[in-house]
Amino acid sequence: MDKTLLIMAAGMGSRYGGDKQVDGMGPHGEILLEYSVFDALAAGFTKVVFIIKRSFEPLIRSMVGDQLATRVKVEYVYQEYESLPAWYRVPEGRVKPFGTVHAVLCARDVIREPFAVINADDYYGREPYGIVGGRIETLAPQQEACMVGYYLKNTVSENGHVTRGVCETDAQGQLKSVTETYKIAPFPDGTIRDTHRDEQGVILDPNSLVSMNLFGFTPSIFDAASRRFDAFLRSLSQDEIKAEYVLPVLIDQLMKEEGLRVDVLKTDATWFGVTYQQDKPFVQKLLSDMHAAGTYPETLF
């Protein structure tokens, strides 16, 4: 059975200030998605699909795609406005993508097997790929999905606020709800707070589980996502030029309204990424240290 890693690499990186998906972070200029691919292949994934801007394809091919294609199946899909439903008209002034649900839908014609979804600009750790890779092999189509749950304390940035899908689970480890929570930031007193509505913020449990967009699905998710994405687009007014439809919101709706069961696969792994330019030196040092310690070879591919 093929297992696919679907990499979302078409985001604009507005807070970072550039195309962070292709900014070199490793000691030899490796980009973060190369580490994700390396770890996924070690965990038994056999196919990689890149969701990119069309203009990114030559760069992604030259940096990793062409080398990768000698070892596993590789596909490219494009998150552009042309992939929106034919009936929809993009409002004047809109420049942002329409979110991670639209990104995943762009891959529906090239995926026929269980798959995991990740962000290109996140480092997820090595362990989660084995966890999610094993579970997607046994998911019941149309009934089950899974996600890797990270502890909130392992996912914040010292350089600014982040958005996280804060999760509630039942006693069996099934996901009950995902609340998209904005402007989460660490404070000098050691607390982590939601500052979306108040500068002083609401203190959050550092051990609460959050979604980092590492989900596992069967191809049946495409039909459900398509229905819901169409409804989202129809709900937008012409002056809403920044609204996005994201995976945690889709999952929450499918659980509550269509009975989808979602296993939360807990991990102690520490996430890191480059939400802000100031994150880059920290990420570079961590990766350099891991190469020096032998966690990764001198060259990945």
Is the CB of residue 183 less than 8 Å from the CB of residue 171?
no
Local confidence band at 198 (pLDDT 50, 70, 90 cut-offs): confident
Give 17's pLDDT tier (boundaries 50, 70, 90).
low
| Residues, the chain | 301
> What's the pLDDT band for 27 if we cut at 50, 70, 90?
very high
pLDDT at 16 over 60: no
Comparing 24 with 118, which gets the higher pLDDT? 118
Note the pLDDT of residue 19: 66
37 neighbors 271 (Cβ within 8 angstroms): no
DSSP 8-state symbol, 197:
S
Mean pLDDT, residues 222-249 taken together: 95
Q: What is the architecture of the domain spanning 4-292?
A: Alpha-Beta Complex (3.90)
Is pLDDT above 80 for 209? yes
pLDDT in the model for residue 178 = 85
Residue 137: φ, ψ to 5°: -65, -20
Average pLDDT over every residue of 55-75: 91
Residue 13 pLDDT level (bands cut at 50, 70, 90) = low
Q: Is the pLDDT of residue 18 over 90?
A: no
Look at residue 138 in the predicted model and tell me its pLDDT: 97
> Is 18:61 a contact under the CB 8 Å cutoff?
no
Q: Say whether pLDDT at 45 is over 80.
A: yes
Q: State pTM to two decimals.
A: 0.91
Query: For position 216, what pLDDT does the model report?
Result: 98
Residue 48 pLDDT: 97
Who's near 252: CB < 8 A, 6+ residues apart? Answer: 177, 178, 179
Mean pLDDT of 232-240: 95
- Taking the alpha carbons at both ends of the chain, their separation in whole angstroms is 24
Q: Is the confidence at residue 11, as pLDDT, over 90?
A: no
**Residues 34-58, mean pLDDT to the nearest whole number:** 94
